[in-house]
Amino acid sequence: MPIKPIRSQADLALHGAPPAYAEALHVGRPNICDREAFLQRMGQVLDNQWLTNNGPLVQEFEQRIAERLGVKHCVAMCNGTIALEIAIRALGFSGEVIVPSWTFIATAHALYWQDITPVFADIDPVTHNLDPAAVRRMITPRTSGIIGVHLWGRAAPADELQAIADEHGLCLMFDAAHAFDSTYRGQPIGRFGRCAVFSFHATKAFNTMEGGAVTTDDDELAEAMRLMRNFGFAGYDNVIHPGTNGKMIEACAAMGLANLDGFDGVVATNRRNHAAYREAFAGVPGITLLEYDPAERNSHHYAVIEVDASCPVSRDHIIDALHAENILVRKYFWPGCHRMKPYRDLFPHAGLLLPHSEAVASRVIVLPNGAAVDGAVVSTIRDVIVALISKGPTP
Ligand SMILES: *Cc1c(COP(=O)(O)O)cnc(C)c1O
């Protein structure tokens, strides 16, 4: 496929889309499954003249997500970050909460935004998920909870984290933003901990353009979050709880319903591409594709390679070479939440306690995936890297 000049999603947020954006090959290209189904749903929205405030499409969306994920409640929200904030508040977190640093910044922000201190624990360098032993080390008398992140859609060690939470009287919830439809020990991940928070942002495997949800089996918690997402309104002229505006709009539910029907197709494409990447990088020195447990469901949305010290060229040179070909791979979470200004100011020496997070952050490249990627794209990416390596070590 022709690959035209592009800029990153982050650049776009700052500067707006260049004309060639639609043809770009970049990480985070949205999955748009069925245009006709979406437009038909949008027709329904306009006919209903019900654009937001728990409309019929949002209700249908919540029901379908709850069924698919095998949970009692799905509370749809305007985005994953607000969903995290509302869940954190509904659970009554305070003081310090233990989170990985190796995650998207929103996990930390959702706490800090509410005057709760995110305390970063290190990860397992193989799975990239929280290391239970590291979590134990970060517990203090101020700790009120743990947020596990199912990174790359691979389940965090929920049983071990629950045992720690039980032992210390802490509340456990999950940031499942990457993990729509993933399983842990064969069970859908939305049921672990007190609740799980999903993001349906455009860049995620399953998207509603912007959107998110909290899933839980806890009736009271679900009710509290429903109140909080709608200003605390219990009925006309009756506010019984402090709240905010976290509502999902009907247009987003329309996208979600259309994309839900196409999701299995997206996963099949991702799996095919993942296998092609595996084959392409077998035998390339110092480059390993992050593997997913074949016994668990995973959308395979994230095609992640790690460049280690045995690779003759550096991770950053590989990224530069691919960018020069307009293949916009990404570092992701670099340099780690603990090295971003707000948290660096808070914990200037956090890196000393996070050796695996720092090492992984320096090794990772996220490759494009989804419908825009095929065998030819995978070969091009491999060829660019192999050509770079054959030129010899970078200074
Ligand atoms: C995307 C993401 C979020 C935030 O979700 P939004 O819908 O973009 O607000 C939170 N946590 C993680 C791990 C994410 O990847």
Query: Are 163 and 176 contained in the same domain?
Result: yes
Query: Are 196 and 321 contained in the same domain?
Result: no
On whether residue 374 sits in a domain, the answer given is: yes
C-alpha dist (Å) from residue 369 to 29, 169, 219, 328: 8, 41, 37, 11
On whether residue 353 sits in a domain, the answer given is: no
CATH number at residue 103: 3.40.640.10
Question: Which one-letter amino acid corresponds to residue 392?
Answer: G
On whether residue 235 sits in a domain, the answer given is: yes
Which domain-ending residue is among 230, 261, 292?
261
Query: Are 230 and 274 contained in the same domain?
Result: no
Distance CA 1, CA 252 (A): 30
Let me know: does 27 contact 366? Beta carbons within 8 Å: yes
pLDDT at 392: 80
Query: Are 241 and 105 contained in the same domain?
Result: yes
If you count them, how many residues does the chain have? 395
On whether residue 379 sits in a domain, the answer given is: yes
From the CA of 83, give the closest atom in ligand 1: 9
CATH number at residue 312: 3.90.1150.10
Distance CA 284, CA 303 (A): 16
Protein residue closest via CA to atom 13 of ligand 1: 104
Spatial CA neighbour of 378 closest among 299, 224, 292, 270: 270
Protein residue closest via CA to atom 10 of ligand 1: 106
The whole-model pTM stands at 0.94
Query: In angstroms, what is the span from residue 107 Cα to ligand 1's centroid?
Result: 7
Query: Are 146 and 70 contained in the same domain?
Result: yes
Distance CA 5, CA 269 (A): 24
Query: Are 143 and 84 contained in the same domain?
Result: yes
pLDDT at 1: 44
82, 107, 248: which to mutate for ligand 1, most atoms within 8 A of CB?
Answer: 107
Query: In angstroms, what is the span from residue 50 Cα to ligand 1's centroid?
Result: 27
pLDDT at 24: 59
Query: Are 253 and 318 contained in the same domain?
Result: no
For 187, other C-beta atoms within 10 Å of its C-beta total: 13
Distance CA 163, CA 256 (A): 35
On whether residue 311 sits in a domain, the answer given is: yes
On whether residue 280 sits in a domain, the answer given is: yes
On whether residue 78 sits in a domain, the answer given is: yes
What burial letters (b/e) apply to 285-297, b meaning 16+ CB within 10 Å? ebbbbbebeeebb
Scanning 218-303, the segments in alpha helix (DSSP H) are 219-229, 250-281
In which domain, by residue range, is 76 found? 35-261
From the CA of 211, give the closest atom in ligand 1: 7
Query: Are 59 and 136 contained in the same domain?
Result: yes
Ligand 1 close to Cβ of residue 28 (< 6 A): no
Ligand 1 close to Cβ of residue 178 (< 6 A): yes
Query: Are 143 and 78 contained in the same domain?
Result: yes
From the CA of 204, give the closest atom in ligand 1: 1
Ligand 1 close to Cβ of residue 174 (< 6 A): no
Number of domains comprising the chain: 2
Query: Are 377 and 314 contained in the same domain?
Result: yes
- Per residue of the chain (395 residues), give pLDDT as tens: 445 444 444 444 444 444 355 565 888 889 998 999 999 999 999 999 999 999 999 999 999 999 999 999 999 999 999 999 999 999 999 999 999 999 999 999 999 999 999 999 999 999 999 999 999 999 999 999 999 999 999 999 999 999 999 999 999 999 999 999 999 999 999 999 999 999 999 999 999 999 999 999 999 999 999 999 999 999 999 999 999 999 999 999 999 999 999 999 999 999 999 999 999 999 899 999 999 999 999 999 999 999 999 999 999 999 999 999 999 999 999 999 999 999 999 999 999 999 999 999 999 999 999 998 999 999 999 999 999 999 887 66
On whether residue 67 sits in a domain, the answer given is: yes
Ligand 1 close to Cβ of residue 153 (< 6 A): no
User: How many Cα atoms sit within 13 Å of 332 on the Cβ side?
Assistant: 27
Ligand 1 close to Cβ of residue 149 (< 6 A): yes
3-state secondary structure of 295: coil
pLDDT at 23: 60
